[in-house]
Chain A
Amino acid sequence: GAGVSQSPRYKVAKRGQDVALRCDPISGHVSLFWYQQALGQGPEFLTYFQNEAQLDKSGLPSDRFFAERPEGSVSTLKIQRTQQEDSAVYLCASSLGGREGNQPQHFGDGTRLSIL
């Protein structure tokens, strides 16, 4: 596709349920990032992949959060036993090169997660 695609666009889940969010990056992009964005705030870094390798997961808020990119393209962010504080917009971004700050990042439109 022409851009980064995320699905679903909206997800409502009951507290305690598991959810899976999908990201389809721009074809050929080596780097993939997940961010969490609260209302009125900028995106906050969660995790980074270079191809299929998860090189940095230091931003994941708890061990309930898990991300994978098994074939170096599509990525899934999974949240287990969801809590109300997990409600946020989850953004995925990809870039052509590495994670250095000289690379523009291309964002999807995010998944808005609401935990009831």
Chain B
Amino acid sequence: SQKIEQNSEALNIQEGKTATLTCNYTNYSPAYLQWYRQDPGRGPVFLLLIRENEKEKRKERLKVTFDTTLKQSLFHITASQPADSATYLCALDMKRADTGRRALTFGSGTRLQVQP
């Protein structure tokens, strides 16, 4: 079956370091992959989208890589700040196993805590 896996354990890092979050998927080849940020009690906020033919994408302190051979995306935050503390969700446009229809399918997210 198709699965999206994100590390369920929280990631704790020191301010100023680079945070790296992982998104692995199985049994599918998505054309696009998206990353969202979610704060407690709020809805997800779109951060970056990367296409299957793009290896890397950057936006300010954020960088996303997409390895379609490994079926993995890495999300990096450089020079991390306490304000970056949040849950980060990856999402893929996947065919639902039960219906065959496509829908944006989210991982369960990884909580990042940046310590001052």
Enumerate chain A interface residues (CB-CB to B < 8 A). 4, 33, 40-45, 48, 56, 58-59, 91, 93, 99-102, 104-110
Contact = CB atoms under 8 A, between A and B. Distances in A.
**SS of A interface (majority):** loop
Contacts, number: 71
Contacts of A108: 43
Interface residues on B, range: 20 to 34
Contacts of B105: 45
A102 B32 contact: yes
Nearest 5 pairs between A and B by C-beta?
A101-B93, A42-B106, A107-B43, A101-B32, A104-B46
**SS of B interface (majority):** strand
B104 interface: yes
A109 B41 CA distance: 7
B34 A104 contact: yes
Contacts of B96: 45, 58-59
Given A42-B4, A102-B49, A104-B46, 4 more contacts: A45-B103, A102-B31, A107-B44, A107-B45
